[in-house]
Amino acid sequence: MLHGKVLVAQGGGPTAVINQSMVGAVLESRKFRNVDLVYGAHHGVRGIINEDFLDLTQETSHNLEMVAQTPSSALGSTRDKPDRKYCHEIFEVLRAHGIAYFFYIGGNDSSDTVRIVSEEAKAADYPLRCIHIPKTIDNDLVLNDHTPGFPSAARFVAQAFMGVNLDNAALRGVYLAVVMGRHAGFLTAASALGKKFPEDGPHLIYIPERTFRVESFLADVKAAYDKHGRCVVAISEGVHDEKGTPIVTTLSKATEKDAHGNIQLSGTGALSDLLCEEVKGKLGIKRVRGDTFGYLQRSFIGCVSDVDQREAREVGEKAVQFAMWGDQDGSVTIQRTGFYSVDYKLLPLASVAGKTRVMEDHFIAESGTDVTDAFRMYLRPLLGSGMPDAFRLRLNSVPRILKK
Amino acid sequence: MLHGKVLVAQGGGPTAVINQSMVGAVLESRKFRNVDLVYGAHHGVRGIINEDFLDLTQETSHNLEMVAQTPSSALGSTRDKPDRKYCHEIFEVLRAHGIAYFFYIGGNDSSDTVRIVSEEAKAADYPLRCIHIPKTIDNDLVLNDHTPGFPSAARFVAQAFMGVNLDNAALRGVYLAVVMGRHAGFLTAASALGKKFPEDGPHLIYIPERTFRVESFLADVKAAYDKHGRCVVAISEGVHDEKGTPIVTTLSKATEKDAHGNIQLSGTGALSDLLCEEVKGKLGIKRVRGDTFGYLQRSFIGCVSDVDQREAREVGEKAVQFAMWGDQDGSVTIQRTGFYSVDYKLLPLASVAGKTRVMEDHFIAESGTDVTDAFRMYLRPLLGSGMPDAFRLRLNSVPRILKK
């Protein structure tokens, strides 16, 4: 076991439970006598470069527990992706502060950051344990059954679709909602869990794992509308044509890119608005409404899966235990061991870092616009306890008298 | 007391608790021996014209209770606004079915429908009790302390802003969200209840009660951004220039109007996208994100105020009691009698119908971009019990060593 300080940081998009992982790592670290102090980096790796640390050893257990239950990244986050030079700067700071354990909570990009930092540490002969703690609402980390943050976001999406389905049933028309998900359709597919009766929406689900063709989309919407007198659609922000070009880029003038070269898909209603125009224009349906769930779905307070909270806490705790007792670098992964139970495994950073999982074929219905029962079985236990339920009136119709 | 059937209908936009009012009216009606049967009209007044009735007397109390807890309008809704001719058709149907009591749950437009139907009934010498039961997330019915549906939508907006404020604190930039509200800013102002610490967003709130000037908006955003390093903004969909022209119409090509002559403001991300472009272009801030809460805010399942549920139930029950024991037409209104308690009063239809309440001046801060403590005192009890709370880490900063 290395002797020194612990540093915890949070990267990438916030989730509803990422603070559980942070607090799990902080409180578990404090149980080890080889740990002097526990620091938190303010705004991810950017905070390391800036020597912007909080001393979490001076925080109370009570407040840590309260923060654990608060969505979003309490330490702040960043989209920075360190290159070799950036990592060299990181070492200078870590060495100066005597940091021996680096825990970085994040998704694909963050895991790749941990991998580079780990390699740089080895190359610089600097003794450092680097552990990646998984987190992403996209659920797109390979070798994980699922990732913390996804279940709560999925719960939000399922509950949201329960509601908008009822709304659309009351005032009929076409309703479509754009859900987060650049490459993986898991979160959009979660909309299927909002469905109770066969007539309920979402009637159509579009995910990035299948090519999006505007003509097929219009034909699907027309068929569903003709059948139900209404139509509720869930669409991933990352839907793309056969060349892989996001549908949204064909319409938005400015295509903002982040440090990872990703085009901005969230924080704009463009995709939803364009598709609504298509439906209005081409199908002649009058009442067409589109929403973009946007940032609500990843940080809504008060719509959190208790299963997700528990697991997010455990990956934080396990990260510290793996680092201390296992004395090796790696990425903590979630493995499903029962219906429903999980266990955690430390895997090599290179096996997880920078890779993107997408929805497996057996989760996607043959139509390409629905999910399978296998997906419903997969997702349901993750949503946690106390899911709301929607009820409807029975159709005891009164015979017409005037029959006009 | 008239002898005959009861007819209940729901009009306008759904809310999270409108079924409480419906079930309250149904179950209360069944206690009176002069009531033969209780019908529900499918999709509001449109269902009456179509003779599309459900016999709610054949529904179980259990299922009614479950439906009461389900958001949106279980009977279906409509945007139809009856004129004299339409009302004549209504009478034909009501007369044919022996309906003596008409309860219509709705907002401004629906209350006006009830007024016209009531007048038409008198003109046609048809014995009919017409009662308007209040409902609207906009909170814009005059002579009411507040309206059922508003508290739950306000709770959603407050919780949503708690979350996006935390998200924006983690990944800094400008975030703006468009909230429903054509003429009244109550729902947008509810975002202020998501604020805990002085540094929290929303830092700026724009409501239709104050003229919106793009230049002032940009100056406000810049000032807040300079002060906090970030900025969270809440904006009513109905913000307009000094001539009363909605800001959104200056940008959207198609301006869809409903039967009431209202321009479509919801179900499009246009306003949010335009304002984001303004901030990016004119202020040179890179990370600017916009969301439109859309339909989530009025029918989200699992984010409901228990106070709202209770009151929505009571206005339904009181409507029946006023009709039976009072033997007069009118609109049920909510009056505040304590901190916190309410009572219900039946007022003449003409005093409520078709009128629009807006936020009173003493609820709006002098800056025009914030609310007063009077508003916070007004709204807080309506949000109900079990509001989530957000916590943050204390800033125990670690001294820099390298100081680069």
Specify whether B138 is catalytic: yes
Report the CATH number that the domain containing residue A288 is assigned in CATH: 3.40.50.460
Mean pLDDT across the stretch B156-181? Answer: 97
Rounded to 5°, the CA angle B122-B125-B128 comes to: 65
Q: Mean pLDDT lowest for which of A97-106, A191-200, B56-65, B90-99?
A: B90-99
**What is each CA distance from B265 to A330, A401, B170, B272, in whole angstroms?**
50, 39, 31, 11
Asked if the bond preceding A86 is cis, omega within 30° of 0, the reply is no
Mean pLDDT across the stretch B220-241? Answer: 97
Q: Are residues B118 and B157 in the same domain?
A: no
> Which residue spans within B180-236 are E strands per DSSP?
204-206, 231-236
B8 pLDDT band, cuts 50/70/90, is very high
Kindly tell me the number of DSSP H helices and DSSP E strands found in chain A: 13, 11
Residues 6+ apart with CB under 8 A from A381: A307, A339, A340
Q: Are residues B181 and B290 in the same domain?
A: yes
Report the C-alpha gap between A288 and A65 in whole angstroms. 44
A109 pLDDT band, cuts 50/70/90, is confident
Query: Is it the case that residue A236 has pLDDT exceeding 70?
Result: yes
Q: Are residues B110 and B249 in the same domain?
A: no
A124 pLDDT band, cuts 50/70/90, is confident
CA distance B39 to chain A (A): 8
> Which residue spans within B230-372 are E strands per DSSP?
231-236, 288-292, 330-338, 341-347
Residue A170 confidence (pLDDT): 97
Q: Are residues B370 and B229 in the same domain?
A: yes
Q: Are residues A85 and A144 in the same domain?
A: yes
Q: Are residues A366 and A229 in the same domain?
A: yes
- Give the tens place of pLDDT for each residue, B120-152: 889 888 899 999 999 999 999 999 999 999 999
Q: Is the residue at A18 inside a domain?
A: yes
Cβ within 8 Å, pair B169-A390: no
Q: Is the residue at A165 inside a domain?
A: yes
- The answer to the question of whether B145 is labelled as a binding residue is no
- Give the tens place of pLDDT for each residue, A346-392: 999 999 998 999 999 999 999 999 999 999 999 999 999 999 999 99
Sheet holding A53-55, edge to edge: A53-55, A35-41, A4-10, A99-106, A129-134, A330-338, A341-347
Smallest CA–CA distance from A391 into chain B, residue: B67
Q: Which of A11, A27, A14 is nearest to A316 (CA)?
A: A27
Q: Is the residue at B389 inside a domain?
A: no
Percent with pLDDT over 90 in chain A: 83
Query: What range does the domain containing A324 cover?
Result: 4-148+303-352
Q: Are residues A41 and A138 in the same domain?
A: yes
Helix (H, G, I), strand (E, B) or coil at B317: helix
- Give the tens place of pLDDT for each residue, A158-184: 999 999 999 999 999 999 999 999 899
Residues B273, B215: contact at Cβ < 8 Å?
no
Cβ within 8 Å, pair A58-B269: no
Q: Are residues A279 and A342 in the same domain?
A: no
Residues of A in contact with B273 (CB under 8 A): 268-270, 273
Residues B311, B148: contact at Cβ < 8 Å?
yes
Residue A253 confidence (pLDDT): 47
Q: What ipTM was assigned to the predicted interfaces of this complex?
A: 0.94
Q: Is the residue at A157 inside a domain?
A: yes
Q: Is the residue at B391 inside a domain?
A: no
Query: Is it the case that residue A100 has pLDDT exceeding 50?
Result: yes
> Which residue spans within B216-323 are E strands per DSSP?
231-236, 288-292
Mean pLDDT across the stretch A56-63? Answer: 97
Q: Is the residue at B117 inside a domain?
A: yes
Task: Please give the mean pLDDT across all residues of chain A.
Answer: 93
Q: Are residues B347 and B277 in the same domain?
A: no
Cβ within 8 Å, pair A93-B402: yes
Q: Which of A45, A86, A92, A391 is most worth mutating to test chain B (most B CB atoms within 10 A of its CB)? A: A391
Q: Which of B271, B300, B303, B392 is most worth mutating to test chain A (most A CB atoms within 10 A of its CB)? A: B300
Cβ within 8 Å, pair B289-A295: yes
Cβ within 8 Å, pair A392-B70: yes
Number of folded domains that form chain A: 2
B252 pLDDT band, cuts 50/70/90, is low
Residues 6+ apart with CB under 8 A from A201: A161, A164, A165, A168, A175, A194, A195, A230, A231, A232, A233
A79-88, A327-336, B256-265, range with greatest mean pLDDT: A327-336
- The answer to the question of whether B108 is labelled as a binding residue is yes
CA distance B24 to chain A (A): 14
Report the CATH number that the domain containing residue A91 is assigned in CATH: 3.40.50.450
Residue A267 confidence (pLDDT): 66
Smallest CA–CA distance from A277 into chain B, residue: B254
Q: Are residues B295 and B308 in the same domain?
A: no
CA distance B157 to chain A (A): 10
Q: Are residues A139 and A245 in the same domain?
A: no
Q: Is the residue at B80 inside a domain?
A: yes
Q: Are residues B111 and B212 in the same domain?
A: no
Q: Phi first, then psi: what are they for A188, rounded to 5°?
A: -65, -40
Question: Does an H or E element contain A233, and which?
Answer: strand A231-236
Q: Is the residue at A198 inside a domain?
A: yes
Query: Is it the case that residue A262 has pLDDT exceeding 70?
Result: no
- Give the tens place of pLDDT for each residue, A76-94: 999 888 887 888 888 889 9
A258 pLDDT band, cuts 50/70/90, is low
Cβ within 8 Å, pair B163-A39: no
CA distance B324 to chain A (A): 24
- Give the tens place of pLDDT for each residue, B11-46: 999 999 999 999 999 999 999 999 999 999 999 999
Catalytic residues of A: 138
Residue A123 confidence (pLDDT): 87
Residues of B in contact with A398 (CB under 8 A): 39, 51, 53-55, 97
CB pairs under 8 A between A and B: 273
**What is each CA distance from B230 to A30, A259, A339, B166, B389, in whole angstroms?**
33, 19, 44, 11, 21
Report the C-alpha gap between A351 and A30 in whole angstroms. 29
